[in-house]
Amino acid sequence: MRLSGKTALVTGSSSGIGRAIALRFAREGADVVINGRDERKIGSVVNEADTIGRKVLGIRANVGNMSECRAMIERAEAELGRLDILVCNAGVFHHTPFLKMSEEEWDEVMTIDLKGIFNCIRAAIGPMVDRGWGRIIAVTATSGVVAPPQMAHIAAAKTGAHGLIKSIAAEFASSGVTANVIAPGLVDTPILGNFSEQALQDFARRVPIGRIGRPEEIAEAALYFASEESAYVTGQVLNMSGGAVIANG
Ligand SMILES: NC(=O)c1ccc[n+]([C@@H]2O[C@H](COP(=O)([O-])OP(=O)(O)OC[C@H]3O[C@@H](n4cnc5c(N)ncnc54)[C@H](OP(=O)(O)O)[C@@H]3O)[C@@H](O)[C@H]2O)c1
């Protein structure tokens, strides 16, 4: 098993991509922390992960709040022994014309999708550096690469996250801590709830591979970046869009 003896915290793992990553890590031998803001959703994924046989902890915390992040990571380290792998995946989605974009919506996206990554890394990286081993992975979006219309806040936050991760990668490369990004295109999760079936089909037709992605496919890339096999890879952005970035970007 590729993560045997490791511990991992996946933010936003009470749903969608984060859930798939946490379950994949547990199946590879990692003890995992399931996080989100909704206790009921966290509990349901904790129950699922429990059947795999690894230690599983559910922690409710808002990644946009530094003290909640610190408390979550301290608890994870106390109950799992240490934290080896941090996946910053929690995020929200809004598709809003710029002339209708409110300051509140802008701040919400920045706080969760960008500052949330800073908060979690800031709270978790010190002991990784002290131990000389750590894996940091951010789940962003291809909107941080190609910047589609009506997503100015998401594009700004995800592009910012790419800069943040690259700088962390450079600063801690010699300490055995890698930091990489997975930038998905559309993936079949509850975050797409506001899209009509027609809009999703139209989008899928523009994807060279001919469909939107599956959370389990993103989890395979996260497993690589979390594993020993990726030790010589840091500061990279992996686009996972079925070819949409090269064809439409
Ligand atoms: N699905 C896509 O098409 C797609 C495409 C590109 C990028 N992404 C990115 O992939 C990541 C995961 O999205 P998803 O598609 O899996 O969506 P999802 O199914 O809606 O899951 C989002 C997760 O983030 C959590 N979350 C949201 N705000 C949080 C906060 N402030 N603190 C802690 N947890 C929070 C949610 O829990 P609560 O509901 O309990 O808060 C949930 O567990 C996001 O960063 C998203 O931008 C998704």
Query: Residue 113 is part of a domain; what is its CATH number?
Result: 3.40.50.720
71 lines ligand 1 (CB under 6 A): no
91 lines ligand 1 (CB under 6 A): yes
Question: 200 and 192 in contact (C-beta within 8 Å)?
Answer: yes
**CA dist 13 → 72, 96, 101, 103 (Å):** 14, 25, 28, 27
> DSSP letters along 160-197, please?
HHHHHHHHHHHHHGGGTEEEEEEEESSBSSGGGGGS-H
Q: Is 233 inside any structural domain? A: yes
**CA dist 81 → 34, 84, 125 (Å):** 16, 10, 15
92 lines ligand 1 (CB under 6 A): yes
241 lines ligand 1 (CB under 6 A): no
Angle made by CA atoms 73, 77, 79, in degrees to the nearest 5? 115
CA 174 to ligand 1 center in whole angstroms? 31
Q: What does the pLDDT read at residue 249?
A: 62
**Which backbone phi and psi does 208 adopt, to 5 degrees?**
-50, -40
138 lines ligand 1 (CB under 6 A): no
Q: Is 234 inside any structural domain? A: yes
Model confidence pLDDT, tens digit, residues 90-146: 999 999 999 999 999 999 999 999 999 999 999 999 999 999 999 999 999 999 999
Q: What is the mean pLDDT of residues 211-225?
A: 98
Kindly indicate the confidence band of residue 81, based on its pLDDT and cuts at 50, 70 and 90.
very high
| Nearest CA owner, ligand 1 atom 46 | 91
Q: Is 1 inside any structural domain? A: no
Q: What does the pLDDT read at residue 30?
A: 98
CA 36 – CA 90 distance, rounded (Å): 8
Angle between helices 215-226 and 16-27 (to 10 degrees): 50
Q: Which residues of 170-209 are buried (b: 16+ CB within 10 A; e: fewer)?
A: eebeeeebbbbbbbbbbbbbebbeebeeeeeeebeeebee
Q: Exposed/middle/buried for 140, CB within 10 Å: 0-12, 13-18, 19+?
A: buried
The residue range of the domain holding 168 is 7-248
Q: What is the mean pLDDT of residues 148-156?
A: 96
**Number of structural domains found in the chain:** 1
Model confidence pLDDT, tens digit, residues 161-189: 999 999 999 999 999 999 999 999 999 99
If one residue of 11, 24, 35, 37 were mutated to test the ligand 1 pocket, choosing by the most ligand atoms within 8 A of its CB, it would be 37
Model confidence pLDDT, tens digit, residues 12-65: 999 999 999 999 999 999 999 999 999 999 999 999 999 999 999 999 999 999
117 lines ligand 1 (CB under 6 A): no
Q: What does the pLDDT read at residue 13?
A: 99
Q: Is 54 inside any structural domain? A: yes
- Cα dihedral sign, 209-214-220-226: positive
Q: Is 2 inside any structural domain? A: no
